[in-house]
Amino acid sequence: MIGALDEGTGSTRFIVYDNDMSLIHMNKKRINTFHRDKIAEQDPCEIYRKTMLNINNAVNKFNIKSIGITNQRETTILWNNDGKPIGNAILWQDKRLSSYAKMLKNEYKDLFVRKTGLIPDPYFSAIKIRYLLSRNPLIKEKAKQGKIKFGTVDSYIMYKMLNRHVTDYSNASRTMLFNINNLYYDDEILKILDIPLEMLPEPMPSNSFFGSWHNMDINAVLGDQNASLFGHNLIIDNSIKATCGTGTFIMSLVDKSNNSKKLLKTIAWSMDSNTKYALEGSIFDSGSFYNWAIKVFHGDLKYQDKIIIVPAFSGLGAPYWEPDAKTVITGFNYNSDSSAMLSAAVQAIGLQVNDILMEIKNRRYMTCDGSGSKNQFLMQFISDIANINLITLKEHEITSFGIAAMAGMSSGLIKDIKKPEIERTYAPSGKRYISLYKKWKYALKLSMM
């Protein structure tokens, strides 16, 4: 049997699959997040404790031979050599260093894009590491001596489980320190950011043997969106995929030479010395914004073109990259009802997805997963405005499915994978949204002023 350890932003889960890749068991525990102003943090000790509770519950019931780990990316943890964390984990959502990121973007954008595939933004780990080191010169000095470790959640969990300071290429590529062309941490970038190489985890191919824990081999590690893309690609080759969860993350496999000025170039995964690349667009506020909206507004979802909402509670990600953008609502008046406001909130997600898809070539279809893929109004709206066929899946745990499949393939436990079934296909209806889109572009300008 195969275990998938899924370290998400809102929860940690451990899912067990049999050798036919059928889900047979799941344990899930919520993880608390501390939000205030631009700050987003979690307690690494809580993450590890609840992870172990989930794993131990499963290993007492099932004979698990192989484990894959997938995790929220960019989230940054520092710890001592004994594994004790130094403060809280700083989440990918944290925006407290937006001014420093803007300075880097103004001075070094081309360099970072060319070497790391990333546009400087507080989203990425390097900005968070820089912040933590700048606050405490003693920590910085210990980091130079190899006495302080940095890692994303996968690296921290494996250090605690295996006493190895490692990560995979997909997670390393999200630090903004990793040269995705040559597959090493870049000396020039480390010097610019003044980050010691000694504190960084060893990067390895995604399907490596990372170590054994209680006779279970860890055979695969991927960032969560990468694991989702791997799972989608097992269903339909070279799909554009969208995971509509807390945020919405759109990824498409591309050739190494394929770039975009507005989307991120990242390592999708590396297997048996074969490295795959992807273009990615990240929307920071989608599911989290919708959950807020349904608490404030109510009613049936329906198309409307009067109200525009730009949801920038965490700034704006791709393709705008404005961490200081403000949430904007335009076009509402005394006649605006709650249903129209809720509909505008959902349309705002679709409008952002469309702007990302406009940056991706060969847009024939897109496969979708996550809680947002269950919203039929949103799926049809995206299909219409982006003029693309959308496919939703019956498999609700495609991220865990993807990492378990890689672990099973790497360990030799599985040869043929039973592909998750398609739930529904949405085709463009032919509706045009010229007026709505013009209002959207105007509202974006107001948001980024």
Residues 403-436 have pLDDT tens digits of: 999 999 988 888 877 777 888 999 999 888 989 9
Model confidence pLDDT, tens digit, residues 153-207:
999 999 999 999 999 999 999 999 999 999 999 999 999 999 999 999 999 999 9
Query: Which superfamily, per CATH, for 234-447?
Result: ATPase, nucleotide binding domain (3.30.420.40)
71 vs 245 pLDDT, higher one: 71
Average pLDDT over residues 248-268: 85
Cα angle vertex 90, ends 88, 92, to 5°? Answer: 155
Q: Where in the chain is the domain with CATH 3.30.420.40?
A: 2-222, 234-447
For 84-125, write each residue's pLDDT tens digit. 999 999 998 888 888 888 899 899 999 999 999 998 988 899
* Residue 36 pLDDT level (bands cut at 50, 70, 90): confident
Confidence of residue 443 (pLDDT cuts 50, 70, 90): very high
Share of the chain above pLDDT 70, in %: 99
Please give the pLDDT value at position 113.
92
Q: Assign 3-class secondary structure to the chain.
A: CEEEEEECCCEEEEEEECCCCCEEEEEEEECCCEEECCEEEECHHHHHHHHHHHHHHHHCCCCCCEEEEEECCCCEEEEECCCCECCCEECCCCCCCHHHHHHHHHHHHHHHHHHHCCCCCCCCHHHHHHHHHHHCHHHHHHHHCCCEEEECHHHHHHHHHHCCCEEEHHHHCCCCCEECCCCEECHHHHHHHCCCHHHCCEEECCCCCCEEECCEEEEEEEEHHHHHHHHHHHHCCCCEEEEECCCEEEEEEECCCCCCCCCEEEEEEEECCEEEEEEEEEECCCHHHHHHHHHHCCCCCCCCCCCEEECCECEECCCCCECCCCCEEECCCCCCCHHHHHHHHHHHHHHHHHHHHCCCCCCCEEEEECHHHHCHHHHHHHHHHHCCEEEEECCCCHHHHHHHHHHHHHHCCCCCCCCCCEEEEECCCCCCCHHHHHHHHHHHHHHCC
Q: Is the pLDDT of residue 258 over 80?
A: no
Confidence of residue 28 (pLDDT cuts 50, 70, 90): very high
pLDDT digits (tens, 9 = 90+) for 262-297: 899 999 999 988 899 999 998 988 888 898 889 999
- pLDDT band per the 50, 70, 90 thresholds, residue 239: confident
Q: Where is average pLDDT lowest: 70-74, 139-143, 263-267, 391-395? A: 391-395
Average pLDDT, the chain: 90
Going from the C-alpha of 106 to that of each of 100, 164, 206, the distances in angstroms are 10, 37, 33
The model carries a pTM of 0.88
Domain 2-222 sits in CATH at 3.30.420.40
pLDDT band, residue 237 (cuts 50/70/90): low
Buried b or exposed e, range 181-195, using 16+ CB within 10 angstroms = eeeebbeebeebbeb
The proportion of the chain whose per-residue pLDDT surpasses 90, expressed as a percent, equals: 60
- Per-residue model confidence (pLDDT) at position 347: 95
Which pLDDT value is given to residue 238? 66
